[in-house]
Amino acid sequence: MIQYLLHNRIWLALHRLKQEPGRPLLLLHGLGECSPSELPPEYADWPGPVYALDFTGHGLSTVPQGGGYTCELLMADADAALAALGEATIVGRGLGAYIALLLAGARPAVVRGVILRDGSGLAGGGASGRSPYIPVIDTQQLAPPDPYAIADLATDARPPSYSTSYALLAEQESGLVRPVMVCAREHPEWLTAVINALGVETVAVPEALDEYRRLPYIAAE
């Protein structure tokens, strides 16, 4: 089942992959990817519904004209999904992992843990985003994914201090022992800074899921 959320003139596709009472698990895909059409087996035992969001310019969500993509724009996409779902645990792949981290710091009361995984767009444009190269955008390429999204988000700057500020907000305000779980093998500069700031180690995905599934959940009335 697909639910469409209207957000700033953009229709966002929110896929329901599993229906079951409990805290939702929200999946965020990598750069240039889209939500899975079926429930990935590794999330089958999650004690609650499982959803997946198509970011702006990806999957079945609206493709805007002219680009202008930022990670903060995609964080707003995920925030719109949270507004529809309420309290949720988030799993992000690649670019989705970075967005999940930002959202954990911005919405610590409703994000009940984030799991950061490898995937497309994890590194972004590095700490400064500066490059001597100008990306060439093939405007004839059929979207999705939007070629402007690939160009903008593959070079988006990710200063370590910016990333750690969100990670520390999640640690201070969420009330969770481990609000951020790192399950990625690749550690770009921003993620290394987060690991050092929080004093965490890389863990396996099943361990992260098991810890978050045991958190108490009170359904919203």
pTM: 0.94
pLDDT at 167: 98
d(CA 209, CA 27): 12
24 contact partners, CB below 8 Å, separation of at least 6: 48, 49, 50, 51, 85, 86, 87, 88, 89
pLDDT tens-digit readout, 22-38: 999 999 999 999 999 99
Lowest-pLDDT range, 21-25, 30-34, 57-61, 131-135? 131-135
pLDDT tens-digit readout, 180-215: 999 999 999 999 999 999 999 999 999 999 999 999
Is the per-residue pLDDT at 142 higher than 80?
no
d(CA 104, CA 180): 8
Burial (0-12, 13-18, 19+ Cβ within 10 Å), 142: exposed
In this structure, what DSSP letter does residue 109 have?
A: T
Going by pLDDT thresholds of 50, 70 and 90, the confidence category of residue 218 is confident
Is the per-residue pLDDT at 154 higher than 70?
yes
Looking at the domain that runs over 2-130+137-213, which CATH code has it been given? 3.40.50.1820
